Structure 1
Amino acid sequence: MGMSAWKRAGVCVAAVTVVAGVAGCQAGDGGARDKAAEPKVLSRSEAAEVLQAAFKKTTEAKSAKVRMTMSMPSGMQGMGDMVGMAGDGTMEMTGVQGWDPAVMDMTIKGSGFAGTGPDAPSEIRMIMLDNIMYADMGAEQAAEMDGKRWMKLDFQAMAEESGSKELQKQMTGSLESMNQDPAQQLALLLESPNLKHVGPQKIDGVQAQHYKGTLTFEEIIKGNESFDFLSEKERKELVADAERSGVKGYDTEVWVNEDDYPVKMVLGMESDEGTVDITTHYSDYGAQAEVEAPPAKDTVDLFEMLQGFEEGLTGIGADA
């Protein structure tokens, strides 16, 4: 495989990191406030009842179409480097997400890929099935890989092969983050001590009720199941790291339609460098999420490639 294909592989890994980072966070434009009437503003307990009903309906739906946008200020270039994004960049994800079982078929594009270098793609299609990610590397790169344009990224297998318990725990957490569904985000918002009902707004042409709340990083970890693999000591270290990096908290919002489904979720992550904004729109709840893995004949396994590369280096060392 040529050097440009190896670079594209790195971009695909970065794209997976983006998916893992934002799939567990839901966050955009406020929509138009309905001023035709003066609706009753619900109390916290009443708002919690509505979100609990939405949680139940969303859990049972098991799938939805998704449109997500993530933007990052230039002051957070360090974080951008970590996820393969350019500071002051934008990433857009569109496609379908299913839960129970967890599946995903998303196309990722945007200026954020500029942070990965001059050969960065304009977009990457990502498929997740059975906790394995597949990335479409494009026709150009397929020419360097015997016509195989899909890269298989089985991070769990890589972690298990390494024998590192720490790496296995990290990958378990990342996969659980990618598996997060809107129902889990509702559960997180219900943990907010200052949950409140804002009022009615039209979102994507439908009437919805707007709710919001604020969570500290510590509260996010406590209420998010994807952090259950961490020990108490590791949780404390994670909170301390967030505090040192200037992460102040999360402003979380949700708009629930008249059928008790969330149609938009918003998260703003505040820090000393600026705010990361994530906006997610949902539609077509309950539509069957028909996600299929690419044909094996069109797929190259990154794990096997890395093993072959390592064996090649070992052979060169032995010859020397």
Structure 2
Amino acid sequence: MSRSAWKRAAAALAAAAVVAGVAGCQDGDGGTKKAAGASATAQPGTQSPEEAAKAVRAAYAKASAAKSAEVEMRLNVGGEKAPGGSTFTGVQAWGPVAADLKVFDSSYLAEIPGAPVETRVVTAAGATYVDLGKGLTAQTGGKRWLKVDAEGAAAGDELMIQLTGGLTVAAMDLPKELGLLAGSSAVKHLGPGTRGDFKGSQGYEGELPDGTFMQVWIGADGYPVETRVASSETDGSSTSLTTKYSDFGAKAAVQAPPAGDTVAFTDLLKRLGRG
């Protein structure tokens, strides 16, 4: 197995599990915004920027109090080096950030011989763990769980920086992101959603301080229905994370795997290099 295959798979899975989403489906802000609004039909906004910011702040307060939710996430990475995507479902918590997610429909897993079609990622205590399944333990020294520290993994490696660098900046803590959006001087009301799950919701969008673009749809109950976080880089790389939320306050008893059954990502790369 090549080092690049491990990098692509582990980086993308870890990035999404950490739930730190930035994205950019197309070059420039205009392309990003067009893609971000594709899932809901909205009428022209009628709220002023002040009213829009107030609505987003109210959603921030509700999400903060809930502390967790059921999520369905889709991560897409664009660019010449490591394009692909993965879908994640499970429970996400914030303050501190934690997650227990099933991974499927993953182009990164599909690239690795012996990897499971579906797997699990756990984020706890500042690290992300990817269940590699039994088929890969011969290459991991018998360890089933791959441990990825996003900052450590990205340090000094161009591909890892592409896949995780932007993701760790936003640290997709839902209340934090909503707070940043509410504080944006250009938060915009998109109007009411008129299709499917978006009926009865109101859409808002704006650029966060780090240049990331965010869109949120807020339901009639004041809780977020969906967020889309997007960014694109000058080198053509892009990342997008769409997250659908339900069952706010869902139990999130997330625990890290036993230390004796984990292998650090950087140690694995050294092991593969020696091989």
Q: What TM-score, normalized to structure 1?
A: 0.62
Q: Confirm or deny that 1:188 pairs with 2:180.
A: yes
Q: Confirm or deny that 1:295 pairs with 2:240.
A: no
Shift of 1:254: 0.9
The code of the aligned residue for 2:247 comes to D
Shift of 1:289: 0.7
1:180-219 aligned within 5 A: 180-201=172-193, 202=195, 204=197, 207-213=200-206, 215=207
The code of the aligned residue for 1:197 comes to H
Answer whether contact 1:20 1:178 (CA < 8 A) is retained: no
CA distance in structure 2 between the aligned counterparts of 1:144 and 1:207, rounded to whole angstroms? 51
Answer whether contact 2:122 2:129 (CA < 8 A) is retained: yes
After superposition, the Cα gap between the structure-2 partners of 1:111 and 1:258, relative to the gap in structure 1 and judged at 3 Å, is same
Correspondence for 2:98 among 97, 100, 103: 103
Correspondence for 1:285 among 235, 248, 251: 248
CA distance in structure 2 between the aligned counterparts of 1:114 and 1:136, rounded to whole angstroms? 11
- The alignment partner of 2:58 has SS state of helix
Aligned to 1:14: 11
After superposition, the Cα gap between the structure-2 partners of 1:63 and 1:293, relative to the gap in structure 1 and judged at 3 Å, is same
Question: Hey, which of these two has a bigger chunk of helix by percent?
Answer: 1
CA distance in structure 1 between the aligned counterparts of 2:150 and 2:246, rounded to whole angstroms? 30
CA distance in structure 1 between the aligned counterparts of 2:148 and 2:8, rounded to whole angstroms? 12
Answer whether contact 2:22 2:166 (CA < 8 A) is retained: no
The code of the aligned residue for 2:202 comes to Q
Q: How many residues align?
A: 253
Aligned to 1:227: none
Correspondence for 1:261 among 199, 209, 223: 223
Kindly name which structure, 1 or 2, has the bigger radius of gyration based on alpha carbons.
Answer: 1
Q: Confirm or deny that 1:220 pairs with 2:209.
A: yes
Among all aligned residue pairs of Structure 1 and Structure 2, give the percentage whose two residues are the same amino acid.
Answer: 35
Shift of 1:299: 3.1
Aligned to 1:133: 128
- Shifted more, 119-128 versus 59-68: the winner is 119-128
C-alpha RMSD of matched pairs (Å): 4.1
Correspondence for 1:42 among 24, 44, 47: 47
Shift of 1:31: 2.4
1:50-199 aligned within 5 A: 50-73=55-78, 76-77=79-80, 81=81, 85-86=82-83, 89-110=84-105, 112-113=107-108, 122-143=117-138, 145=140, 147-154=142-149, 177=169, 179-199=171-191
Answer whether contact 1:68 1:279 (CA < 8 A) is retained: yes
After superposition, the Cα gap between the structure-2 partners of 1:291 and 1:29, relative to the gap in structure 1 and judged at 3 Å, is farther
After superposition, the Cα gap between the structure-2 partners of 1:141 and 1:198, relative to the gap in structure 1 and judged at 3 Å, is same
Shift of 1:97: 1.1
Q: What TM-score, normalized to structure 2?
A: 0.71
After superposition, the Cα gap between the structure-2 partners of 1:253 and 1:158, relative to the gap in structure 1 and judged at 3 Å, is closer
